[in-house]
Structure 1
Amino acid sequence: MIHIRRLCTQANTSLYFYSQINPPLGLLSRIPQLNPSASAVRKSIANSVPQDVAEIAHIDFRPDEGGAFVRFRAHDEQKLEKLVKKGFTSRWLLFTSHATGFKVIGKPWITDIPHKLSRTVSVEPGMRKEDLYDLLRQYGKLSYCRDNIAKFASLSSACAALACAHRSVYAGQELRLHVVPQRKILKTVGAWFFEHPRITLPALIALLFAVAYAVFEPVRQWGVENKVKGTFQHYVDKLSFGLIASFSKTGKPLDVISEAKNDNVQELERELSEGQSTFIVVSGPKGSGKTDVIAATLSGCEQPVLLIDCNSLRGPPPNVVVKSLARMVGYWPIFTWTNSISRAAEIGIQGVTGQKTELTRSFDEQVEGVLDTVAHALKNLATAPLGKNKTTNQERDFLSSHPEARPVVVIQGFLSNDSLSQVLSKWCASLLVDDVAKVIISTSDMTVEKTLASILPNRVLRTVHISDANPAVAKQYIYDNFMPYVETDMARQSFQQLRDMDGTFLKPLGGRMQDLQAFGRRLLAGEKPVEALDALVKSASVEVSQLFLSSSKQWTIEQAWILINQLARTPVALSSKNSKNSKNSEKENDATAETWLSVPGQILGTFGFMTLTETQKTLEAVEEAELVQTRSVGGRIVGIRPVSPLYMEAFKRIVSDPLFAPLMNQKVAQARKAVETAKIQDIEKEMQGFTVLAPHFPPQLKQRVAYLCSLMNTSQAVVELCDQEIAECREQLQKFGWYAQNEPSSGFA
């Protein structure tokens, strides 16, 4: 049962109510820390009312209303009332307030029922406005007063009126005061929010994004700047381009570049030293040492360097790519999960409002958001000498006149047909237009220059071509960079044999850095040069047979075998080396000359490549799988070649294998025979339809019949040729005691 009691005035006592002892906080006032202590209040009241005026008989604290009822035994009633109105200073937490007392003229109703506070009170029965004002004004300033409703300017005044005037007698009538609950602002705002979702939801989300941007964007720019400057050690480690030595024993970085690459390093240094609009493309086949050349050039660079490796950003889901890119450039914090929440929120809002809010961002927009922050950070680094109070005009003038202050941005693994690379290319173009940074793009894609030239048509695109080293230089590179780490007699004998051998022995490696390093590690392990080279070729042969001579959704086994067979047997030289690098061209010999297999002349029109569309699609898929490298003119592939010289040697070994080659040739002949047989069957079905016209055969159909007969004869000749090839393959296989009409194994033995 809820306890209810009335506080009545006892004989020889006076009852007063002190307000503003503490703020009237409602239920929050039940927290002890928000209220002054009872002893402190009693002491303050005793100090404000001397004992010769009145004595304190009882104190009843009302924390909800922020006050207390105090019963006095008065010696001088008039003086007591003046002192009570004067009040005292109340201290609570770190604040103070002035507590004022009022004489209780009614019969207050005190209860422990939780109740709401309000500045508005109602009086029953109704009173005239003047009388209501006279009654309530003594407790505090009124905001308005009409009919039987009065609103106080402060909540403390309303609490004092309810405590003192309830059940008081005025003009012969007993008055009852009640709290009038007021409509809370939060409820009003909430009701309006839910009634207008088309306006409020997008505005709220936009506000959240704005606040998040204002809070986190300076932190992200700080993170990017420290990443580029290498402030922290783990950032410095990542700026080494991953060129930690692949030596199995020493782990020494590759700080020695072969003589064939020194010209490339010097050329790249010259291009970087030239001031205006530095946009350099370092091109070359995969594994030709582009990364080493860039690292050697930037090793003594005083400007900050930022590396973005596109190779490590291909393959994962978009959210993972954005997160990896952010980690690569120092963009932190990043919340990739917010895009999923935004997508769900957009679906819900669209269902409620019937309109799109465009809250979610596409993959390109997320990448652009990261790169925009990086661009601002790079600009801050470049213009750091100007200080903090710099204007836009000052920044523009400084960047154009001080190219040496611009950071260097390196984009590795750039591809023209990659969506991420396209976003990066546009971003790099903006960096150059604004003179924010120097850009170096490393790529093995031959069509990149044309793509980049279309993005910056008014800028000079500088190119440094990294070519394969000739066998003599490759041999010297292996000897100089691996010989100092020889620890065993077998390894020492292997390097001695390599030194005595002719450099043309390394022709199958083609001067590729990664292949030369693999060859050198095998020599360090004690393998002989011939054994090491044979192991590399065999490993490449197994890789080709397992990855490309197997079932694929993008090409057939027959198509892959025809390409390998053609590349291994009939390469046709279409172009010489890049004439832009005359020094390298002079050093090259026939072993490293670029040769291309003509697509229009030797691929298009053969089995599996009958149409231009089919041929183009298949060759693009094979290039993406890194089996071949293509050459395009006007967007059309005109030439192909193995992706590396080691693959060319692997192709030759595969097509000359006495067991595996007949198996694959037989498979191609069987597939071709099946296609031609199906054509003959279709022709036979059409000609059977002409038999219903016999014996009155129309002369107009003779030309059609003759045409079909010629087609049948052509297909029959192909079928007979295929039968002959199959028979020859069977004879070769029978020599090994093995004949199988089923599909051959995808592995290369």
Structure 2
Amino acid sequence: MTARCIANVNPRRPLLRNGRPSLQTQRWESTLSEDKKSGHIQTASNESILFFDNLFPLKLTPIMLWRPWSTRRDISELHKQLEDYSRGLLDPINLVKKAIPKNTPINVTEIIPRLKDGGAFVKFTHPNEITASEIEDLLGKQLEEQPIKPWFNPFLGIKTGLVRGRPWLEDLYRFPKSRIRVEFVASSDDQAPSELSQETLYSIFRRYGKIADITSQPSDSKVLPQFAHVDFVLVRDAIMARNCLHGYLLQEEGSKSVTRLRLAYEQRVKPHHIWDWITNHPRIVIPIIAGFLAAFTVAVFDPIREFFVKAHVQRIFEFTNSRLYKWFKRQTSDILAFRRHKGDQAGLNALVTHRKDVIDSIQNSLLEATATFVVVHGPRGSGKRELILDQVLEGRRDVLVLDCKPVVEARGEAGTLKKLAAQVGYRPVFSWTNNISSLVDLAIQSTTGVKASFSENLESQLVKILQVTASALKEVSLADKKESDKDAALSEDAYLEAHPERRAVVVIDSFLHKNEEKGIVYEKIADWAAALVQSNAAHVVFLTNDTSYSKSLSKSLPDRVFHQVTLGDLSPDVAKQFVVSQLDPDDSRIEKSPEEASGSSQSEKKRREDLQELDECIDQLGGRLTDLQVLTRRLKIGQSPKKAVSDIIEQSASEILRMFLLTKDAGQGDKRWSTEQAWYLVKQIAQNESLRYNEVLLSDTFTSSKTPGAGNGEAALESLANAELITVKSIHGRPHSIRAGKPVYQAAFGRLLKDNVVKARMDMALLQELAGIEVKAIEKAETELTVLGNMPSQPYQMRDRIYYLLDKLHASQKKIMVYENEIRGLKKILSEEV
């Protein structure tokens, strides 16, 4: 009998809604039988159902489920598609047609596609003389001999199986799996289901495909209904078994009850042995992960960071270093040489002439192979940075400038790392990740008790940045090494030692700036600099204002003698020459009209008068470069030299008063001095210009200060020297004398002494401290006399001690009376003066 579709139900007719026809639409995978919309396929006595597999691609099922397919197909539509030979091989209905040969004795009455399962149910009628099982065997043998393979699966052909149960046509969002959960349900309410053995399950399910495993329910399990798991090798086989055997009734041999099989897909729980081992051994796994992350970071990011450091040192990305800019500068050098730079160049030439010996000394040290530091020391404003960068290293390539000031002034560890990385060109830098790593460390330690060490402390991250920078500097120093050189056969270290002129130069500016706040930064920078000079990777030049720099540098390079250069103030002649060079008129070479010439002669006359005043007041101002630049700016705006110098001295006096005499935080932090000690030095230096170092240490205010933190006289003097109130001169390596911190401070000290109110207030505070020191000495003597007086017997040997204490007590009391008499006079001045 030829396969044909018999319309045993009426074609779909439009339903009336509000008087208008409308069609009920439904997705393909939820197509139901026309008999009942109960989710099951209803069959007559002479009807059976076949399930054809491998008609739709399973991998695309989640995507295809969202696409609205055409309306539910009725018998007439299916009949039209079966008879339409013009349809291509890609049509799944056409595949069903080809899978049923023309000589098969069946009549297809309904086709129900199942997109989610990748197949379709085919309901058919057959003659009484042939059974449905024989039809299944016939179609199966035909598909084995002449396989039909769809376009999406050219390796597996279509299979068919007789539906022995009652398939459930659900449209739930459940997708096929290779594991089937087989539940044993009673066929009627008056019977109890029986659990099937694995042998029975194997004999039932094996016909649909290769079975990987059958797992029965544990004997102690109380889960109802009872179940078993059947694991297929292929998902397609599980689909065939589930659609053919769902609702199947059977009675196991030796059992009196009939059991219904209820099948459902279930996700197989695979044993995660590796993951279980990882989670159960955090003490081993966490350090391994930390090491792997560290190795990954080094392997991936360190070469990138070295490249950026080299680009920063060699100035690859700077426009002023490009060939185009240099060519344009050469072509327009005469046009752009503005006359306003003439005075600046003249002043610079004056400085170069004055410090020519210093410049030559540093340049010669950079051409030698001595592995030591070059230390340029001098007070603030002495021109250290300008001397090194503009004169010593002028025109030299491969110079790295590391300014410590922004690094130590940064807020927090992340800010410190970010600023240091910016100074050396180290990027990318993930300073924020350390905060997240700290939180991860805390979480892991609190839960597992193991310290993961994902986060790094400040010290290790500083060392990491400096190590990458050192590696980049060495490559920069070796960049000029060529195979054609006569020393090309030398090793890298030997080549750098033989050619010190090719080494890069590292300038560390503001070294020991705020030393007390972040000493670890200076320590690591000093160790890094020592490693650079010892490995001949680069020359290192330190620029510092701190007088105690040798203590810090000697720890990193203890067996070397530093090349030390101390920059002082300019001499009066050079200072005058510098100021005059800044004031030279720019229009001296321009021809002028008679009126302009007359005005110019008057200005020249005034200029000569100003120069005479400058000779008189230049000694007061001194030779500090920054003070000379301030004077120059004031003179350019029209102030006379005397007025300008007077304003500078007045400003310096106000600065001393605010920072040293009226401060509220003396003795705290790095200010290890008291206001009384500062006033003592101001008063004595104003009167004598130079003080003996040891004489100052022996004064009462330095030996017995009552201010916390200022009891150590040497520490107080060192702190005041670092604050630049004073300058400590040394002879043969020992402190010798004390002078004002800047030349202008000498005049400022005298200006403060002329202010009666300031002088009376500070003298009164100093006398009160001295009186307090004597009161303390009296209390100590009285305590000892009380102890001696309470002894039962007083031998004559104690007589000298008693007289000594009494004389000391008497002398202290006389001093207190003198101090109090002077204090009364000072109070009178404060009450009368404004």
Quickly name the TM-score band, shorter chain normalised.
0.7 to 0.9
Please tell me the residue identity of whatever aligns with 1:424: I
1:558 and 1:608 in contact (8 A); partners too: no
What is the distance in 1 between the residues matched to 2:506 and 2:448? 45
Instruction: Report the equivalent of 1:284.
Output: 378
1:447 and 1:632 in contact (8 A); partners too: no
Residues 1:198 and 1:699: Cα distance change in structure 2 (over 3 Å): same
- What is the aligned counterpart of 1:269 among 363, 368, 386? 363
Instruction: Report the equivalent of 1:564.
Output: 682
Residues 1:346 and 1:465: Cα distance change in structure 2 (over 3 Å): same
How far did residue 616 of structure 1 move? 2.7
Residues 1:51 and 1:293: Cα distance change in structure 2 (over 3 Å): same
Instruction: Report the equivalent of 1:93.
Output: none
How far did residue 362 of structure 1 move? 2.9
2:444 and 2:452 in contact (8 A); partners too: yes
- What is the aligned counterpart of 1:456 among 557, 576, 587? 557
Residues 1:48 and 1:692: Cα distance change in structure 2 (over 3 Å): closer
2:613 and 2:642 in contact (8 A); partners too: no
What is the distance in 1 between the residues matched to 2:449 and 2:423? 40
How far did residue 636 of structure 1 move? 8.6
1:162 matches 2:162: no
- What is the aligned counterpart of 1:709 among 806, 810, 814? 806
1:268-347 alignment, distance < 5 Å: 268-275=362-369, 277=371, 279-297=373-391, 300-319=394-413, 320-347=415-442
How far did residue 518 of structure 1 move? 0.9
- What is the aligned counterpart of 1:22 among 30, 52, 58? 58
Instruction: Report the equivalent of 1:151.
Output: 231
1:423-502 alignment, distance < 5 Å: 423-449=524-550, 451-459=552-560, 461-484=562-585, 495-500=607-612
Greater CA drift, 527-536 or 207-216: 207-216
User: Cα deviations across residues 49-69 of structure 1 (Å, max 9, x unaligned)?
Assistant: 659947996453444x5x232
1:552 matches 2:665: yes
How far did residue 599 of structure 1 move? 2.9
What is the distance in 2 between the residues matched to 1:164 and 1:277? 88
What is the distance in 1 between the residues matched to 2:304 and 2:320? 16
User: Cα deviations across residues 641-688 of structure 1 (Å, max 9, x unaligned)?
Assistant: 332222233223323444432332233123322332454356457657
Please tell me the residue identity of whatever aligns with 1:352: T
What is the distance in 2 between the residues matched to 1:56 and 1:402? 98
Cα RMSD (Å)? 4.7
Residues 1:51 and 1:99: Cα distance change in structure 2 (over 3 Å): closer
Residues 1:282 and 1:697: Cα distance change in structure 2 (over 3 Å): closer
Instruction: Report the equivalent of 1:182.
Output: 268
2:290 and 2:453 in contact (8 A); partners too: no
Q: Larger C-alpha radius of gyration, 1 or 2?
A: 2
Greater CA drift, 645-654 or 213-222: 213-222
1:111 alignment partner, SS class: coil
1:618 alignment partner, SS class: helix
Residues 1:688 and 1:447: Cα distance change in structure 2 (over 3 Å): closer
Please tell me the residue identity of whatever aligns with 1:446: T
Please tell me the residue identity of whatever aligns with 2:315: G
User: Cα deviations across residues 512-563 of structure 1 (Å, max 9, x unaligned)?
Assistant: 2211111111111111111111111111111001110023341332121112
2:181 and 2:266 in contact (8 A); partners too: yes
1:85 and 1:101 in contact (8 A); partners too: yes
Please tell me the residue identity of whatever aligns with 1:338: T
User: Cα deviations across residues 420-452 of structure 1 (Å, max 9, x unaligned)?
Assistant: 222111111122233322222111233324543
Please tell me the residue identity of whatever aligns with 2:642: V
- What is the aligned counterpart of 1:111 among 147, 163, 170? 170
2:366 and 2:500 in contact (8 A); partners too: no
1:60 matches 2:140: no
1:647 matches 2:760: no
1:109 alignment partner, SS class: coil
What is the distance in 2 between the residues matched to 1:214 and 1:97? 45
1:208-223 alignment, distance < 5 Å: 208-223=293-308
2:113 and 2:120 in contact (8 A); partners too: yes
1:599 matches 2:693: yes
1:4 and 1:112 in contact (8 A); partners too: no
2:382 and 2:625 in contact (8 A); partners too: yes
1:268 and 1:297 in contact (8 A); partners too: no
Structure 1 unaligned blocks of 5 or more: 91-95, 238-248, 573-596, 740-749
1:307 alignment partner, SS class: strand
Instruction: Report the equivalent of 2:94.
Output: 46
Instruction: Report the equivalent of 2:40.
Output: 6
Instruction: Report the equivalent of 2:651.
Output: 539
1:626 matches 2:724: yes
How far did residue 470 of structure 1 move? 0.8
Percent of aligned positions that are identical: 25
User: Cα deviations across residues 469-513 of structure 1 (Å, max 9, x unaligned)?
Assistant: 211111111222343569998987775445445757423343222
Greater CA drift, 255-264 or 469-478: 255-264
1:84 and 1:100 in contact (8 A); partners too: no
1:616 matches 2:714: yes
Instruction: Report the equivalent of 2:470.
Output: 375
How far did residue 350 of structure 1 move? 3.2
How far did residue 283 of structure 1 move? 2.1
Residues 1:613 and 1:48: Cα distance change in structure 2 (over 3 Å): same
What is the distance in 2 between the residues matched to 1:532 and 1:402? 51
1:87 and 1:98 in contact (8 A); partners too: yes
Instruction: Report the equivalent of 1:101.
Output: 158
Residues 1:167 and 1:48: Cα distance change in structure 2 (over 3 Å): closer
Please tell me the residue identity of whatever aligns with 1:223: F
2:55 and 2:150 in contact (8 A); partners too: no
2:159 alignment partner, SS class: strand
Residues 1:327 and 1:89: Cα distance change in structure 2 (over 3 Å): same
What is the distance in 1 between the residues matched to 2:827 and 2:296? 76
User: Cα deviations across residues 382-401 of structure 1 (Å, max 9, x unaligned)?
Assistant: 344679xxx99965455445
1:414 matches 2:504: no
Greater CA drift, 360-369 or 13-22: 13-22
1:225 and 1:378 in contact (8 A); partners too: yes
2:649 and 2:747 in contact (8 A); partners too: yes
User: Cα deviations across residues 293-334 of structure 1 (Å, max 9, x unaligned)?
Assistant: 112236643422221111222334332222222222222333
2:541 alignment partner, SS class: strand
What is the distance in 1 between the residues matched to 2:755 and 2:42? 116
User: TM-score, with normalisation over the residues of structure 1?
Assistant: 0.77
What is the distance in 2 between the residues matched to 1:356 and 1:491? 78
1:162 and 1:177 in contact (8 A); partners too: yes
1:720 matches 2:817: yes
What is the distance in 2 between the residues matched to 1:552 and 1:356? 41
2:576 alignment partner, SS class: helix
What is the distance in 2 between the residues matched to 1:692 and 1:263? 73
Instruction: Report the equivalent of 2:635.
Output: 523
Greater CA drift, 604-613 or 417-426: 604-613
What is the distance in 2 between the residues matched to 1:606 and 1:411? 40
Residues 1:546 and 1:78: Cα distance change in structure 2 (over 3 Å): closer
How far did residue 701 of structure 1 move? 5.4
User: Cα deviations across residues 206-264 of structure 1 (Å, max 9, x unaligned)?
Assistant: 54455455444344333323322323449989xxxxxxxxxxx9799966342213333
Residues 1:121 and 1:529: Cα distance change in structure 2 (over 3 Å): same
Residues 1:518 and 1:164: Cα distance change in structure 2 (over 3 Å): farther
1:491 and 1:525 in contact (8 A); partners too: no
2:343 and 2:582 in contact (8 A); partners too: no
What is the distance in 2 between the residues matched to 1:684 and 1:309? 57
Please tell me the residue identity of whatever aligns with 1:556: S
